[in-house]
């Protein structure tokens, strides 16, 4: 089958289930909770941006710190975001994507609670602003790695 014009349904038939596994929500949360680094995607004023962030999972939400600048401004303009983490090994890789709404933490008691989380900037900068991503969708995939199979065109 020539797959240059295949639909998603046709491609699912071609890919063996043992190559790509859809993870459960629990497995996805477990992987997300074990990581501290990811990529945050924002979209404001028609521009898509991707920012590296360090984060912590807190009660099935994600919290990160930031300083005033492009990221915080974009989250204020358009709070819908996506966070992706990936892991790779010799034989498999995983990818988890969390989509949700970014909310700046501004109540003092919530700031105090966030400040107690094991979340510190990786670079020597002051980051006083905490942001919480409230999830709307969480998906995960596990990929079995290996060489590309022979191409067979019909």
Q: What is the pLDDT of residue 38?
A: 97
pTM above 0.85, yes or no: no
Cα–Cα distance list, 74 to 15, 42, 104, 132 (Å): 38, 7, 12, 14
Tell me the C-alpha distance between 148 and 88, whole Å: 17
Burial pattern 82-104, b for ≥16 Cβ within 10 A else e, equals: bbebbeeeeeeebbbbbbbebee
Q: What is the pLDDT of residue 117?
A: 96
Q: What is the pLDDT of residue 102?
A: 97
Domains and CATH numbers, the chain: 24-144 (2.30.110.10)
Q: What is the pLDDT of residue 63?
A: 98
Question: Which tens digits make up the pLDDT trace of 10-31?
Answer: 444 455 668 999 999 999 999 9
The SS3 of residue 42 is strand
53: CB partners within 8 A, 6+ apart: 37, 38, 39, 40, 64, 66, 83
Tell me the C-alpha distance between 72 and 40, whole Å: 12
Contact 95, 38 (CB under 8 A): no
Please list the pLDDT of the chain residue by residue as tens digits (154 residues): 444 554 544 444 455 668 999 999 999 999 999 999 999 999 988 889 999 999 999 999 999 999 988 888 888 889 999 999 999 999 999 999 999 999 999 999 999 999 999 998 888 888 999 999 999 999 999 999 988 888 877 6
The SS3 of residue 108 is helix
């Amino acid at each position: 089958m020539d797959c240059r014009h295949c639909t998603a349904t046709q491609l699912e038939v071609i890919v063996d289930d043992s190559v790509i596994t859809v993870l459960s929500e629990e497995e996805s949360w477990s992987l997300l909770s074990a990581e501290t680094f990811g990529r945050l995607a924002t979209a404001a004023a028609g521009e898509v941006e991707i920012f590296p962030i360090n984060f912590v999972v807190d009660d099935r939400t994600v919290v990160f710190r930031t300083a005033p600048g492009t990221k915080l401004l974009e989250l204020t303009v358009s709070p819908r975001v996506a966070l992706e983490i990936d892991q790779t090994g010799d034989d498999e890789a995983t990818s988890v994507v969390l989509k949700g709404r970014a909310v700046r933490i501004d109540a003092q008691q919530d700031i105090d609670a966030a400040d107690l989380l094991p979340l510190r900037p990786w670079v020597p900068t002051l980051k006083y602003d905490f942001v919480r991503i409230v999830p709307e969708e969480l998906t995960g995939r596990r990929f079995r790695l290996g060489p590309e199979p022979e191409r067979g065109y019909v």
